[in-house]
Structure 1
Amino acid sequence: MVQVRTIGYDCDVLVIGGGIVGMSTAHAISRAAPGTRVTVLEKEPGPARHQTGRNSGVIHSGIYYRPGSLKARYAVRGSAEMIKFCAEYGIPHAVTGKLIVATDRAELPRLHALAQRGRENGIAVRELGPAQITEYEPEITGLAAIHVGTTGTCDFTAVARQLGEASGAEIRYGARVVRVDRRPDRGVAVRTARGDTVRGRVLVNCAGLHCDGIARLTGDDPEVRIVPFRGEYYELARQDLVRGLVYPVPDPAFPFLGVHLTRGLDGSVHVGPNAVPALAREGYGWGVVRPREAAATAAWPGAWRLARRHWRHGVGELHRSLSKRAFVEEVRRLLPAVEPQDLVRAAPGVRAQAVRRDGTLVDDFLIRQSPRAIHVLNAPSPAASASLPIGREVARRALEALGPV
């Protein structure tokens, strides 16, 4: 048990952000150091309102990620832990497995390399031919596929809520942070839009779409900027066309997994997402424009360098965003039977993608530390799947920063 002095502080560790990573961090601190006082500030009226609660709910196995990377290590470990956590607390979940399907001969070497990567990450994979694909998914066509048995789905919002409750942390909703005063000898003082001041000895920044802004409020240069990408989804009206989870072979030059088919816990089938630039950090539609945020993104040199490097991908994504028929054609690569009337618009999400000044996308989880502050600066998918080990790592750093008293 870590003994801490709390006189003069409202808490020992102050977590900004009530998504699944922030709640997992609070939970991990309470497990590692009972008695440590944790306060979580979340600007929304409830937990997991953005990245955590606006995705396809897939528990990723870790097959996609470079061996040895944080994504690979945490996703492989975290997926098993997530399933166990859901079972322990009665949170809806299912281990369904998934198919990754090659529909073009040019994708076959990438599919084989992906199978090898999965094995290097310790994941059991089965390589399939066309006839075996139809055993799993009768309406899906492809030249070859990988079956990954450890992939599943769950309710990540329920997971985040349960993590927060089990942590014993004080969770303050409706607490948007507007100012941070950090002094090495006095910890941090955070002011919210309501005018409240919360004092803590160590700050943990899990603010997701706003993490780079919180880092700058703290006085740290994150050296990256969040460039928001909106993922647009449809639901499949003919749910019987898809039994489980079906993905295309991803393009290694781009960090998104492509348009995929995901059967949820309620039987609905999500189709998507495509990825287009959002005009606000929480830009869930083309009509959501926040000029100051859009201008800040445009002023970041990395955003323009990224656009120049990936403009062909970008044009295709924009076309599919504006043209339902183009989106349908993309889906038909996997599911030839789909018709335009089968796709019904569903709730979109926004990915908080960290981009460096040179225009490169940060392709791994990024956690930075400075005196009295730990910043989680890149935690898009598979962060929800990997949230339990991520939370432990952030908690370890926070408790080290807290130190003996």
Structure 2
Amino acid sequence: MKAYDCDVLVVGGGIVGLSTAYAITRAAPGTSVVVLEKEPGPALHQTGRNSGVIHSGIYYRPGSLKARFAVRGAAEMVKFCAEQGLPYEVTGKLIVATERAELPRLHALVQRGRENGIPVRELGPARIAEYEPHVRGLGAIHVGTTGVCDYGAVAARLARLAEDAGASVRYGARVREIGRRASGVAVRTSLGEVLRARALVNCAGLYSDEVARLAGDDPGMRIVPFRGEYFELSPARAELVRGLVYPVPDPAFPFLGVHLTRGIDGGVHLGPNAVPALAREGYHRGTVRPGELAGTLAYPGSWHLARRHWRYGAGEVRRSLSKRAFTEAVRRLLPEVSARDLIPAPAGVRAQAVLPDGTLVDDFLFAESPRVVHVLNAPSPAATASLPIGREVARRVLTAMR
């Protein structure tokens, strides 16, 4: 009887889990890898429900994991898509100040971008029109390395490349139990099978904290889900946006505000609006999972977060409930738009790690215990940075196996 069914079990078949499997097969050929994904296919949650932006890394604190991985990951994602024949476009983007109070933050972003090694150009109002004739602002930054791609297609290709190298990707395999021994781990899945491995990687996204607890580890945080709500411009008005247009973000929040994104399919997404979701997969306003909601409400960090940021949250909820208010946010950047030009689009859910004191975890967060590596927080730009993140997680788990 075999002591192990594989060397590494990866929990989660989103882009980070599949990138990790791919990276392991490249870093250590012959290492047997099994990916367990509870859905019938890859990348059906955060990876497949975003606007497809290849982020430059301009927003992130110099020296942070986000900054390092995003800058490196953007270049690698473009190269990967080109080599694999996947759709992508390097469009560049504008970050636009629409009020004088935003100009100092815009100038600070220029400095941050340069510290991160990102080429940026400052633009006055007349130059904005050269890039986006229908956008209005007092000043802007042009970031040339930003682009768009299809992250669902990227994840599917990573799955295929990993399988070609000997990995196994099993769909419909929800993890029910995790047992730990000094020599390895054992996982029982919803398919009724028990798999034994030398090491385990937790890339479970919206459920990363729950999987950590199944493994017997205290993650020290909780995933609080936020629904990102989108509209899209009607096809007759899509020509109003050429590329990507963002507002100047509030530095207190990891959310980037309502922005304009011409996707790889040519459609223009508007959003997202970020509101608390009533389920971890709460893609619709009426989706409620009582157990998950009770867990969020019982967590002290949720209440600290609400007390600290209720004004910001109230604005997000207002835009969620009022199409007119959402349109007002869009019109700050694109004044020619009216409410009748906005068509509801599918929502996404962000897995936001929150500490017990209500602090939003703003960087990637990893944790390790014997023979286990947890990816506890992988928010945007995780898809952009998925290739270097996968290599980092692969390095950690291969070290843990030794």
Q: TM-score w.r.t. structure 2 length?
A: 0.98
Q: How does 1:29-44 map to 2 (within 5 A)?
A: 29-44=24-39
The aligned residue for residue 116 of structure 1 is 111
2: distance between equivalents of 1:52 and 1:112? 31
Amino acid at match of 2:290: P
Query: CA deviation digits over 1:361-394, x for unaligned, max 9?
Result: 0010001000011000000100000000000000
State the SS of the aligned residue for 2:346: coil
The aligned residue for residue 3 of structure 1 is none
The aligned residue for residue 176 of structure 2 is 178
| Residue 60 of structure 1, CA deviation | 0.2
The aligned residue for residue 144 of structure 1 is 139
1: distance between equivalents of 2:378 and 2:18? 14
The aligned residue for residue 3 of structure 2 is 8
| Residue 354 of structure 1, CA deviation | 0.2
The aligned residue for residue 185 of structure 2 is 188
**Equivalent in 70, 73, 90 of residue 75 of structure 1:** 70
2: distance between equivalents of 1:196 and 1:313? 46
The aligned residue for residue 319 of structure 2 is 320
2: distance between equivalents of 1:129 and 1:311? 34
2: distance between equivalents of 1:317 and 1:204? 34
2: distance between equivalents of 1:311 and 1:193? 39
1: distance between equivalents of 2:142 and 2:56? 11
**Equivalent in 197, 214, 221 of residue 200 of structure 1:** 197
The aligned residue for residue 127 of structure 1 is 122
| Residue 152 of structure 1, CA deviation | 0.5
2: distance between equivalents of 1:300 and 1:118? 36
Q: How does 1:217-236 map to 2 (within 5 A)?
A: 217-236=214-233
Amino acid at match of 1:182: R
| Residue 286 of structure 1, CA deviation | 1.1
Q: How does 1:6-405 map to 2 (within 5 A)?
A: 7-168=2-163, 169-185=167-183, 187-237=184-234, 238-403=237-402
2: distance between equivalents of 1:387 and 1:209? 16
| Residue 247 of structure 1, CA deviation | 0.2
**Identical-residue share of aligned pairs (%):** 75
| Residue 31 of structure 1, CA deviation | 0.6
2: distance between equivalents of 1:298 and 1:166? 41
| Residue 194 of structure 1, CA deviation | 2.1
Amino acid at match of 1:211: S
2: distance between equivalents of 1:7 and 1:385? 38
Amino acid at match of 1:156: Y
1: distance between equivalents of 2:140 and 2:25? 43
| Residue 199 of structure 1, CA deviation | 1.2
State the SS of the aligned residue for 1:347: strand
| Residue 78 of structure 1, CA deviation | 0.4
| Residue 142 of structure 1, CA deviation | 0.1
1: distance between equivalents of 2:63 and 2:161? 31
Amino acid at match of 1:64: Y
1: distance between equivalents of 2:54 and 2:265? 16
State the SS of the aligned residue for 1:53: helix
Amino acid at match of 1:203: L
State the SS of the aligned residue for 2:82: helix
| Residue 79 of structure 1, CA deviation | 0.3
Amino acid at match of 1:285: H
| Residue 7 of structure 1, CA deviation | 3.8
| Residue 157 of structure 1, CA deviation | 0.7
2: distance between equivalents of 1:248 and 1:82? 24
| Residue 182 of structure 1, CA deviation | 1.1
2: distance between equivalents of 1:106 and 1:219? 48
Query: CA deviation digits over 1:131-163, x for unaligned, max 9?
Result: 000010011000000000000000101111111
State the SS of the aligned residue for 1:72: helix
- Number of residue pairs matched by the alignment: 397
- In structure 2, the gaps of 5 or more residues are none
Amino acid at match of 2:342: L
2: distance between equivalents of 1:401 and 1:385? 26
